[in-house]
Structure 1
Amino acid sequence: MRTSNAPRRQALPLRLLSTSLATLFVLAGCGGGGGSPGATVSATPPASQQPPATTPPATGQQSVYDTNPSLLGDAFSNYWNLCAKPRTGVDANGKPYPDRQGSLLDELKFLRAWTHQNYLWYNEVPNTYRMADFSNPIDYFDVLKTTALTPSGKPKDQFHFTYPTEEWDAMQNEGVDLGYGLTFSRVGSGVPRTWIVTAVEPGSPADAAGVRRNDMLMRVDGVDFVSAGDNASVDIINAGLFPSSAGTQHRFSFQRSGAQFEVTMTGAEVRVDPVKNVKVIDTASGKVGYLSFETHNAVSEKELVDAFTTFKQEGIADLVLDLRYNGGGLLYVASELAYMVAGPAATAGKVFDRLQYNDKIGSDSPIMFRSTAYGFSAPNPVAAGTALPYLGLKRVTILATSGTCSASEAVINGLRGADIEVIQIGGTTCGKPYGFTPVPNCGTTYFSVEFKGVNNKGFGDYADGFAPTCQASDDLTRAVGDPAEGLLATALAYRTSNACPAPQGQSSARQLPTQLVRPLVKEIAIDRRSR
């Protein structure tokens, strides 16, 4: 079995953080504090809307490493696993923790040295911050990134975050997510808040409580979720939405068809199924395969192999790949997926995603279209080296929204680089041609952009996302996989006419989400290299 600690592309879904952590707003969802990917419920703007802090705090003394990090050299390994509070015992795989007694300064030096050597934009990291002014490594890591803005005014680096290592490993290797089994779309970022349920994991606490797609969140433990802005209320909301341990009960009010109802849900370790709705749709012009795919993690490798085996046996003529909620993950899984779509004739000898590092790392690293399974460690693994099934399609239809990100975008870009026609239905993707290798240290796993990915033709400039062939809304009034649901119906219509159908104007259909919000990632952000 292979463990996964490779390059990945991932843009994690947002989660809520307490108002005291508002400045640590990032991209994914997890418990435990700063830098975690997640959406922020607070009375202050998220960090992405605040001017970058470029002046140092008013206290403390700058060290030579603050002003000249090159003195640390590339020997970050000298500080790796030197921890202020070393863990004892063994990890989930039964291996002793590598932690050794160290200090907070050792942890900060590790982050500064690693960033200066590996961060894609290492020469744009401000050297005005003082290690002496930071009381924990996560706060320090949060400022170790470029403060540059894109031409449109967005932060150049929107993909800088952390995860508690234990949670990250559970999500990636076992597909386990501590929460209720809910995914939301968030319309806007301020008050009033509009969070709509987009997905409910089968068998989860939310499923058992009767929560359904298109329900709108109204109250959490008696607090007005839509309008609350004070710190005490926000703390209650966050505690309810993101339980810190299994077995904790919280009350929620939702609105459905204009009427409110209340449920009680108990936090649990929910096993998330990354591949859902595998089906064959019979049409007048042949069989169309369909599957919804939500995260490129270790668990998904076997499920994708099984899905494509079914499609090959059924002799499908076309494929609709639903990536509307897929925030990314392992690039090796993305490479395998693209190969299973295109087959050997179109991909032989071609690069799926070439990773371009900073000038210190030097040489590029190509990820080819993988024709055999990597063999990720997972509860139901595929044996390493197993030949992958393939369809040999010349075109594929992909359903996408702003929640389609990172490794999912690499699938689109990689297929186009191999001259496979990609028909994109829905909305513009998130725009993340960047990736990283998760770096664990002292109980926290750090995600810092290390590379940019380009396809076989050298293209990788899609920081503004891929625009759709046909624009359509995520129809939350119907189940994902229902042929009448907005995105899938548009895809099937385009297949028949080769033209975008006229908008149906359904008032009940929600607009495309501006942000996907998951309490914990399924993406998440990761091995072989991850995006």
Structure 2
Amino acid sequence: MQIGRTALSATLALALAACGGGGGSTTPPISGGTPTPTPTPTPTTATCDISNQLDFVDDQLNEWYLFPDLLDNNVSRVGITDVQTYLDARVAPARAQNRDKGFTFATSIAEENELINSGASAGFGIRLGYDTVNNRVFLFEAYEAGNGFVAGMDRGTELLAIGETSANLTTVSSLMASGGPSAVIEALGPSNPGVSRVIRFAQLGGNVIETNITKASFSLDAISDRYGALVLNDGGKKVAYLNLRTFIVGTSDRQLVDAFQDFSDEGITEFVIDFRYNSGGLVRIADLMGDLLRGSNTGQVFSQTVLRASKSSENSTEFFESTTGFFNPSTNTLGSPQAIPSVNPIKIAFIGRPGTASASELVMNSMIPYVSPANLALVGSNTSGKPVGQSAFDFAACDLRLRAVTFQTLNADGNGEYFGGMASEMPNTCAATDDIFTPLGDPSETSIATALSFLRGQTCTATISGGTGQTAQSVGGRQLLQPERPNAAQHEIPGLF
């Protein structure tokens, strides 16, 4: 029985049934499909006692964790009051070897299912980072359906002051001085619908606005209608620009197919694929993206999934395919296979940053065997370094989902050891800054301009490969605002508020 590569995860998800209390073994992963959300009953003390939750965690880690020799089997439970603290201790040896950089975590079943199935989250709909030198907070991007964008916030906007009312506004500079990024995060309030804050912010150009903004559920549109899929005119040559924000939204399959249908109709063979803030998502969507980039490679190996030795019977291979089944959020199932377009990518410039991870890196790595080395590059800076993926193990009675590292992905050449980031794997790298004061999709934005230059055959300054990878929260000289205990959406989209 093969692992279901169409299932959910920051690279893969498998929902495994578990008995209350965590005792006994689970059934193997089921091939294909996605887990059906289960109503979460009010936990009882007997079922959701912390010891029962930790028993459940131990059962899954001991059976499925990718690096069994890098688990600490002597962690004391004395004083442990939450699952995440225990997980951090158990996988500490793997983390010390750069193999599990926060990839194993506990989250909410209900929150994550809502995120994946409907592509929705609650908040202002903005992605924030801060200048680590000057302690200023800026927007990296804004979701069009969020109230932040409606209020006038967009890429490059600077937050100046935050308060529950106009009477108690506190400047961001004073928040950063007194408590650092955590003080700003606390001032922004919980990510619950109906929470409101008065925010003073400066738009690009200097216009200052002070207004009350309410957090609400908004659509995490994976491909922006403004700049997500564009055909750029580069000196008379057509170049496709794709900015994919995340792989986590199940319904982004149709958006991707529509975008590539346009690129195919235009006969485009040169691509700028912008993954600069994309920390991953569903392997199914990564596989689909490979299918859309397949050219003449239908039937060839796209990627390989490898589990621990004791689970080698679950290993699987993904091939370039000419059909796909689209996700139906109302039934949580994939439809019947339908023919999909493809392009013939002669040249590709991937834009990446330290926040680029998981499924984004999977696509890059899997395309290396199929694009001429002279025509393939990573533009920007080194990526996170996450050639592994998580499975999902559910303790439904407690709304507890364990995301545990259970597999590694390799390309057709058998390569997949990029724990230090993709800079050492790509045949070409071009250093470029992230110009947050220029719109995404604009050919003059520094990273995009550098990518276009590479596609013209011009030389560039190589990035530093590094040897340890980089954190998903680091973006150039700025750091993403990220709570110590992020919610489901923030796990997948760091910096989201």
Pick the TM interval, shorter chain: 0.7 to 0.9
Q: Which of 246, 259, 266 in structure 2 is aligned with 1:295?
A: 246
Q: From the superposition, tell whether residues 7 and 117 of structure 1 become closer, same or farther in structure 2 (CA, over 3 Å).
A: same
- The question of 1:355 aligning with 2:355 is answered no
Q: Is the CA contact (8 Å cut-off) linking 1:4 and 1:298 kept in structure 2?
A: no
Question: C-alpha distance in 2, partners of 1:382/1:312?
Answer: 24
Per the alignment, residue 450 of structure 2 pairs with 490
1:471 and 2:413 correspond: no
Aligned to 1:140: 86
Name the SS for the 2:262 alignment partner: helix
The 8 Å contact of residues 295 and 522 in structure 1, kept in 2 or not, is answered as no
Structure 1's unaligned 5+ residue stretches are 11-74, 83-91, 504-510, 527-531
Which residue of 2 is the match for residue 181 of structure 1?
125
Q: Supply the distance in 2 between the matched residues of 1:235 and 1:464 (Cα, whole angstroms).
A: 28
Native 8 Å contact 2:387 2:416 kept in 1: yes
Contact 2:328 2:335 in 1 (8 A): no
Most deviating of 121-130 and 217-226? 217-226
Please tell me whether the aligned partners of residues 395 and 422 of structure 1 are also in contact (alpha carbons under 8 angstroms): yes
Say if 1:372 and 1:385, in contact at 8 Å, map to a contact too.
yes
1:66-106, Cα deviation, whole Å (9 max, x unpaired)? xxxxxxxxx99445678xxxxxxxxx978544888624222
Distance 2:181 2:453 in 1: 44
Instruction: Point out where structure 2 has 5 or more consecutive residues left out of the alignment.
Output: 24-34, 164-168, 464-474
Residue pair 2:251, 2:326 contacting (<8 A) in 1 also: no
The 8 Å contact of residues 4 and 376 in structure 1, kept in 2 or not, is answered as: no
Moved more, 393-402 or 265-274: 393-402
Q: Is the 8 A contact 2:193 2:214 kept in 1?
A: yes
Q: What is the Cα-based RMSD across aligned positions, in Å?
A: 3.6
1:483 Cα deviation after fit? 1.5
The counterpart of 2:410, out of the listed 454, 461, 465, is 454
Distance 1:213 1:521, change over 3 A: farther
CA distance in 1, matches of 2:48, 2:114: 27
1:333: Cα distance to partner?
A: 1.0
Residue deviations 1:317-352, cap 9 Å, x none?
A: 322111111110111211110221133x235231x2
- Describe how 1:366-385 pairs up with structure 2 within 5 A: 366-378=317-329, 383-385=335-337
* Pairwise CA distance, 1:255: 4.5
Q: Is structure 2 residue 261 aligned with structure 1 residue 315?
A: no
Quote the residue 1:422 is aligned against.
Answer: 376
Q: Report what 2:32 is aligned to.
A: none
- Please tell me whether residue 199 in structure 1 is matched to residue 163 in structure 2: no
Partner of 1:512: 476
2-structure distance, mates of 1:96, 1:155: 34
476 and 95 in structure 1: CA distance in 2 versus 1, 3 angstrom threshold: closer
Shift of 1:210: 1.3
How many angstroms apart in 2 are the aligned matches of 1:5 and 1:524? 18
Kindly tell me the number of residue pairs found equivalent between the two proteins: 440
SS at match of 1:287: strand
Tell me the alpha carbon deviations over residues 127-154 of structure 1, each in whole angstroms, 9 at most, x when there is no partner. 3333353233343333231335657xx6
- Does the 8 Å contact 1:122/1:146 carry over to 2? no
Instruction: Note closer, same or farther for the CA distance 1:320–1:110 as it changes in structure 2 (3 Å cut).
Output: same
Q: Normalised by the size of structure 1, how large is the TM-score?
A: 0.73
Deviations along 1:424-456, one digit per CA (max 9) or x if unpaired, are 221111111111112222212221211121111
Counterparts of 2:131 and 2:325, CA distance in 1? 38
Pair 1:273 & 2:218 matched: no
| Deviation for aligned residue 1:274 | 0.2
Deviations 1:150-186 (A, max 9, x none): 57xx675332223222221111111101111111234
How many angstroms apart in 1 are the aligned matches of 2:285 and 2:450?
A: 27
State the Cα deviation string for residues 286-311 of structure 1 (Å, max 9, x = none): 32111210111312111001111111
Instruction: Give the whole-Å Cα distance in 1 for the aligned partners of 2:175 and 2:487.
Output: 23
- Give the CA deviation at 1:465: 0.8
Q: Aligned in 2, Cα 1:158/1:471: closer, same or farther, shift over 3 Å?
A: same
Residue 94 to residue 119, structure 1, CA distance change in 2 (3 Å): closer
1:434 maps onto 2:395 in alignment: no
Q: In percent, how many aligned pairs have the same letter?
A: 25
SS of residue in 2 equivalent to 1:282: strand
> Could you give the per-residue CA deviations for residues 175-234 of structure 1, whole angstroms, max 9, x where no partner exists?
10111111123444xx96443211011131111221221123343323444454799998
Query: Could you report, residue by residue, the CA deviation over 1:366-411 in whole angstroms, capped at 9, with x for unpaired residues?
Result: 2333432243233799733112210022332211111211100000
